[in-house]
Amino acid sequence: MVERTLIIIKPDGVQRHIVGEIIGRFEKKGLKLVAAKFVQLSEKQVGQVYAVHREKPFFKPMVKFLSSSPVLLMVWEAEGVINMTRKMMGATFGLYAEPGSIRGDFSCSERYNLIHGSDSPESAQQEIKLFFAPNEIIDYKLTNSPWLYVKSASPKK
């Protein structure tokens, strides 16, 4: 099933000029960009994205970090996009993330980790709704889609 995911390029990604690199990886993978906004989030907005972590000890410093400087909010679309982008992001912190992943290649911090990606279809739906009205998500055809999304002829395992 075609899914959507909310991707946030965090303040460190913007400040360190890694925005183009991250978008380039998703584009080259073949994912479809359907919405984008460059904004500075309020502490309240960050708290809404990370509501499940509200009681965690790292919550306050994380909210400060994410509201400290602008971020790029994007919605990407493809079948299996949530799983694919999570793998491309790598483990939560660059210090431990696999080389080849975005965090593994560009971060070595245990706080600043460049990117957020939704972790399930349910959280994606909720997170996208926080920032994008339905008419801000663009429905269009990718002209190269016949070269991208061809399925295996063998039945799914």
Residue choice 111, 137, 144, 145 for contact with ligand ATP (CB under 6 A): 111
DSSP string, 16-73: TT-HHHHHHHHHHHT-EEEEEEEEPPPHHHHHHHTGGGTTSTTHHHHHHHHTSS-EEE
122 three-class SS: helix
Q: What residues between 119 and 148 interact with Mg ion by CB under 5 A?
A: 119
Q: Is 113 in the site for ligand ATP (CB under 6 A)?
A: yes
- Give the residue with the Cβ less far from ligand ATP, 42 or 109: 109
Nearest-approach distance from CB 117 to ligand ATP, in angstroms: 5
Residue 38: closest CA among 68, 71, 75, 76: 71
Q: Is 92 in the site for ligand ATP (CB under 6 A)?
A: yes
Residue 26: closest CA among 1, 12, 49, 7: 7
Report the C-alpha gap between 89 and 102 in whole angstroms: 5
Q: Is 72 in the site for ligand ATP (CB under 6 A)?
A: no
- Give the residue with the Cβ less far from ligand ATP, 38 or 58: 58
Q: Is 58 in the site for ligand ATP (CB under 6 A)?
A: yes
50 three-class SS: coil
Q: Which one of the spans 78-86, 94-102, 114-122, 128-136 is the region binding Mg ion (CB under 5 A)?
A: 114-122
Residues of this chain that interact with ligand ATP (CB under 6 A) are 50, 53, 58, 62, 92, 111, 113, 116-117, 119
Residues of this chain that interact with Mg ion (CB under 5 A) are 119
